Amino acid sequence: MKTYYTSDLQKGMSLNGETFAVKEVQLTETKAKKPYYRVTLIDKTGSISGNIWGDKFSQIEKSSLKVGKVVVIDAVVEEFKGALTLNIERVNGVSEAVLDEYVEGSDFDLDELMGI
């Protein structure tokens, strides 16, 4: 069960065993040519970017780090250029998830919007 949603995150928070869905993942390099993953994670309240630095590669389950998968992470919420970002320390897959926790939703009633 989720403890924190993206809308709850604040600079300095430590996340331990939090679940998110993977929206984007890209293996890229720093200016110093060191590899790292740049990821975007989502839940029903929004999205947040994060990085997995090369020294943490041994702490990630690479098979779970795919678009559409739900993952459990350990991370620290940081701020970079005025935006919150995750410094991700561990990633594992989950075998079962309540999928509506990871799809962005609306605060409006669908029937009301459709005029039903």
pLDDT surpassing 60 at residue 106: no
104 or 45, which is more confident?
A: 45
The residue extents of the domains of the chain are 6-94
The model carries a pTM of 0.82
pLDDT band at 111 (very low <50, low <70, confident <90, very high): low
pLDDT of residue 46: 94
Distances (CA, A) of 108 to 47, 101, 105, 111, 114: 19, 17, 9, 9, 11
Chosen CATH of 6-94 out of 2.30.42.10, 3.40.50.720, 1.10.12.10, 2.40.50.140:
2.40.50.140
21-68 pLDDT tens trace: 999 999 999 999 999 999 999 999 999 999 999 999 999 988 889 998
